[in-house]
Chain A
Amino acid sequence: MHVLSVDDSAIVRKIIRGALEVLQFDCLEADSGEQALAILAGRDDIGLVLLDWNMPGMSGLEVLRAMRADPRWAGIPVMMVTTEGERHNIVRAIEEGANNYLVKPFVVEELLQKISDTIGLGDGEWSD
């Protein structure tokens, strides 16, 4: 299984890549929402998307909507990883189909825990 990490910040993608290595997942990276959708369109082995909200161009919320509207991607678990920490934004993302939500700044242990939790929310393929 591959995890797609989407964030316009290279340092955040690097932190996330390090965490995914600990969990022994292969990491794919996109620095924009547009690139994320292009990667999704080209593969069928992505089991989790970690999604920033604020990015130049397409926002994370727009990527989430596009994923949930497309039967190829509607079932892929998505965790938002974002500085948007207000309650109404968290509720909105969950309503739009996000499976989990992590507010930056985060400690790496929290990231690892939430990635594990989010995958557990999927169809059970990776939850054992």
Chain B
Amino acid sequence: MVTDREYGKVAGAIRRAVSEWAQAMLGEAPDFGNDGDRAASDLETVVGMMFLSGGKALLLMVTIDRKTLTGLVRLMAGDQPERPEELADGMAEITNIIAGSVKTILAGSPWHFSIAPPLVVSGRELGLYLHHRLQRITVRAGLSGGSVTVELIAVG
């Protein structure tokens, strides 16, 4: 089981990773007001996923609605993403950067991991169904008028 202390430490690492990315590459400080479960959304959603292997088997998921993601990719790249692949590529790199920073912050802890190539899934009304015994750490960050949800799920 994830103790409260462990949860706090890992969630803190995720918040710091999101802040570092947002401040360096978007010039914006995220707002961490509300860490609840992802809100059901009928907007098209883009999810960056990465399997992480280490002391635990983890799945990292970064979820952003398409409109917010378009704005974030524009801030990072300097111009509007034109093609769906550009948006997916931006999502993949956001996932990569957040995962890499969390990895560095958690070095030396039982949650330390190696990263892998990111995968991107997109669609409308995406649902996530987890067995109730699987442990999930969720951080939501307000950015550019939308929100970025980062979930770390212990899958083994």
Interface residues of A (CB under 8 A from B): 8-12, 14-15, 18, 54-56, 82-86, 103-107
A-B pair number, CB within 8 angstroms: 60
**Nearest-CB distance from B50 to chain A (Å)?**
10
* B116 and chain A: residue at smallest CB distance: A54
* A106 and chain B: residue at smallest CB distance: B24
**Nearest-CB distance from B120 to chain A (Å)?**
12
| CB-CB contacts below 8 Å: B79-110 with A | 85-86, 89-90, 92-93, 96-97, 99-101, 103-104, 107
Are B90 and A83 in contact, with the CB atoms below 8 A? no
**Nearest-CB distance from B13 to chain A (Å)?**
12
Are B115 and A105 in contact, with the CB atoms below 8 A? no
- Let me know if B76 is at the binding interface, CB within 8 A: yes
* B78 and chain A: residue at smallest CB distance: A18
**Nearest-CB distance from B23 to chain A (Å)?**
8
Are B25 and A10 in contact, with the CB atoms below 8 A? no
Are B90 and A11 in contact, with the CB atoms below 8 A? yes
Interface residues of B (CB under 8 A from A): 20-21, 24-25, 73, 76-78, 85-86, 89-90, 92-93, 96-97, 99-101, 103-104, 107, 115, 117
Q: Tell whether A9 pairs with B117 under 8 Å between CB atoms, given A18-B78, A83-B99, A85-B104.
A: no
Are A10 and B86 in contact, with the CB atoms below 8 A? yes
Are B96 and A9 in contact, with the CB atoms below 8 A? yes
Q: List chain B residues, Cβ under 8 A from A15.
A: 76-78
Given contacts A11-B73, A85-B101, 4 further A-B contacts (CB under 8 A): A11-B89, A12-B93, A82-B100, A85-B100
Q: Tell whether A11 pairs with B101 under 8 Å between CB atoms, given A54-B96, A105-B21, A105-B25.
A: no
Q: List chain A residues, Cβ under 8 A from B92.
A: 9
Are A105 and B101 in contact, with the CB atoms below 8 A? yes
Are A83 and B24 in contact, with the CB atoms below 8 A? no
Contact of B101 among A9, A10, A18, A83 (CB under 8 A): A83
Please name 21 pairs of A and B residues whose Cβ atoms are closer than 8 Å in the assembled complex, sorted by A. A8-B117, A9-B96, A10-B86, A10-B89, A11-B73, A11-B77, A15-B76, A15-B77, A54-B117, A56-B117, A83-B103, A83-B115, A84-B104, A85-B100, A85-B101, A86-B107, A105-B24, A105-B101, A106-B24, A106-B25, A107-B24
Q: List chain A residues, Cβ under 8 A from B107.
A: 86
Contact of A14 among B20, B78, B103 (CB under 8 A): B78
